[in-house]
Amino acid sequence: MAKSASKAMKAERNAAIKARKQRKLLEEQIKKSNEKCDEAKGYLEYTGKNMESNLMKAKEALDLAIELYDNNSLAFFLLGEVYLAQKQHQSALDSYSRALLLDATHVASLERRAICQEHLNNVDGAIQDYTSIIDQEPNNDYAYNMRGLCILNRQVPGIKLLSSCFTLCEKDFKAALRLNKANYYALVNLGKLYEDQEELEQALTYYTAALEVKENYTYARFRRGCTYLHLAESMLSKFEAEEEESSNEMGAVNSPKTPVVSPIQKSSPGLGHADIQSLKQEVIKDRRMAEDKSLFKSHVQSAAKDFSVLLNLDVDPNLADPTVVLNLATCCLLLDDVKHAEDNLKRVEEIIATRPSLVKEGTAEPICDLDLLDQALKLKKKALRIKKNMHL
């Protein structure tokens, strides 16, 4: 009996010793795994010329960290960072997902996975991740802004958002601003939301607010310039429609079928009440037209100013965004500034011609939507020829 009890105690003691050894071994493995994570962090913080080499070194360190302890959520998160830096979005997403399996409350993993979801065109997945962040951190203005942006990016270009989607977007962007009024991303996204809905004055308000927070925010300045230009072109279309209507009315008055009333046929040598009212209406109409034309000019000048500021930021003229230069040329055409319109159109042609060699050198990005740009350039050159003929 005593012998049996002694054996049991010995077995229990051996089990305890073994458990302590295993725990100690595990603690040592976790420590070494975390040390490898720290090593990887050092490589990831460096963004110089050897970035690609450092990413590979970081990956090697993280592979060892995971081999040492495969429940290290930080190691999987950092591995996701490596893949994201290499633009391997599916691999990055898988790593962040593994990190979240080990720690479902890791907000940084949710943020990064949402970015990967967007790159992989899984907008619903991104929205779900941002919603998870909001559930954990109700005061996270970044998550509100990004969720609203995901909904906005569902929009088909040229088609307005459904009322329900518009409301969701507006609600998220305004929630972000309520939490952080200096969130210039939310300000400009709210501006874009209104611009896409043709609420241009509202859009201008938010683009301007974004630039008040961050003066050198180029996207906000570009969008504001485009909105000013859009407003001006809408006004121009209205002027042309009114002139056509007025021309048609004059044609009807001067028609051979319209009876001519001689002075003798008039019942009174003075102006009647109806004539006076008609003259008043003409004066009011002319005054309103003058005000509208002044506002039109102001909008075009404001657009030109924004586009000019953007171009002044480019040290090398050939690295400028050709769309910005083309928009500036459009402003010059609307202001009847033929010389500068021609100069800017030539500059667009030069940028298009030199860009392929710059892309090959790795000093510039390819021009997006080149076919559309070419079509727009042809239209503006045609408009320039018409303007030049008018000035002859």
| Model pLDDT for residues 100-127, shown as the tens digit of each residue | 999 999 999 999 999 999 999 999 999 9
Choose between 270 and 66: higher pLDDT.
66
On whether residue 389 sits in a domain, the answer given is yes
Give the separation between CA 115 and CA 89, rounded to whole angstroms: 9
Residues 62-79: tens digit of each pLDDT:
999 999 999 999 999 999
Does residue 309 sit in the same domain as residue 382?
A: yes
Identify the band that residue 22 occupies on the pLDDT scale cut at 50, 70 and 90: confident
User: Left if phi > 0, otherwise alpha if psi is -120 to 50, otherwise beta: which for 217?
Assistant: beta
pLDDT of residue 254: 54
Residues 163-204: tens digit of each pLDDT:
999 999 999 999 999 999 999 999 999 999 999 999 999 999
Does residue 236 sit in the same domain as residue 313?
A: no
pLDDT of residue 308: 96
pLDDT of residue 371: 95
Q: What is the mean pLDDT of the chain?
A: 87
The long-range contacts involving 108-116, CB below 8 angstroms and separated by at least 24 positions, are 108/77, 109/73, 109/77, 109/80, 111/142, 111/143, 112/77, 112/80, 112/81, 112/84, 113/80, 114/146, 115/84, 116/80, 116/84, 116/89, 116/90, 116/92
Identify the band that residue 299 occupies on the pLDDT scale cut at 50, 70 and 90: very high
Identify the band that residue 259 occupies on the pLDDT scale cut at 50, 70 and 90: very low
Lowest mean pLDDT segment, chosen from 239-243, 245-249, 313-317, 383-387: 245-249
DSSP state of 367: P
pLDDT score of 131 more than 80: yes
Lowest mean pLDDT segment, chosen from 146-155, 195-204, 211-220, 257-266: 257-266
On whether residue 215 sits in a domain, the answer given is yes
DSSP sequence for 81-131? HHHHHTT-HHHHHHHHHHHHHH-TT-HHHHHHHHHHHHHTT-HHHHHHHHH
Q: Within 10 Å of residue 242's Cβ, how many Cβ atoms?
A: 13
pLDDT score of 253 more than 70: no
What are the structure tokens assigned to 284, written together? 């009011």
What is the tally of structural domains in the chain? Answer: 2
Identify the band that residue 333 occupies on the pLDDT scale cut at 50, 70 and 90: very high
Give the separation between CA 129 and CA 161, rounded to whole angstroms: 22
Rounded to a whole number of angstroms, the CA Rg of the chain reads 33
Give the separation between CA 131 and CA 141, rounded to whole angstroms: 12
On whether residue 85 sits in a domain, the answer given is no
pLDDT of residue 266: 41
On whether residue 8 sits in a domain, the answer given is no
pLDDT score of 279 more than 70: no
Looking at the chain, the whole-number percentage of residues with pLDDT higher than 90 is 69
On whether residue 206 sits in a domain, the answer given is yes
pLDDT of residue 45: 87
Tokens 């997945």 label which residue? 125
Q: Within 10 Å of residue 79's Cβ, how many Cβ atoms?
A: 27
On whether residue 261 sits in a domain, the answer given is no
DSSP state of 70: T
* Sign for the pseudo-dihedral over CA of 9, 13, 15, 16: positive
| Rounded alpha-carbon distances, angstroms, from residue 55 to 51, 82, 84 | 6, 6, 10
On whether residue 392 sits in a domain, the answer given is yes
On whether residue 216 sits in a domain, the answer given is yes
Last residue of a domain, one of 213, 242, 271: 242
Of the candidates 192, 191, 208, 198, which has an alpha carbon nearest to the alpha carbon of residue 234?
198
pLDDT of residue 23: 82
Last residue of a domain, one of 214, 242, 270: 242
Domain with residue 237: its CATH number is: 1.25.40.10
Does residue 306 sit in the same domain as residue 392?
A: yes
Give the separation between CA 188 and CA 209, rounded to whole angstroms: 8
Last residue of a domain, one of 227, 242, 257: 242
pTM greater than the 0.85 cutoff:
no
Range of the domain at 200: 182-242
User: Left if phi > 0, otherwise alpha if psi is -120 to 50, otherwise beta: which for 152?
Assistant: alpha
pLDDT of residue 49: 73
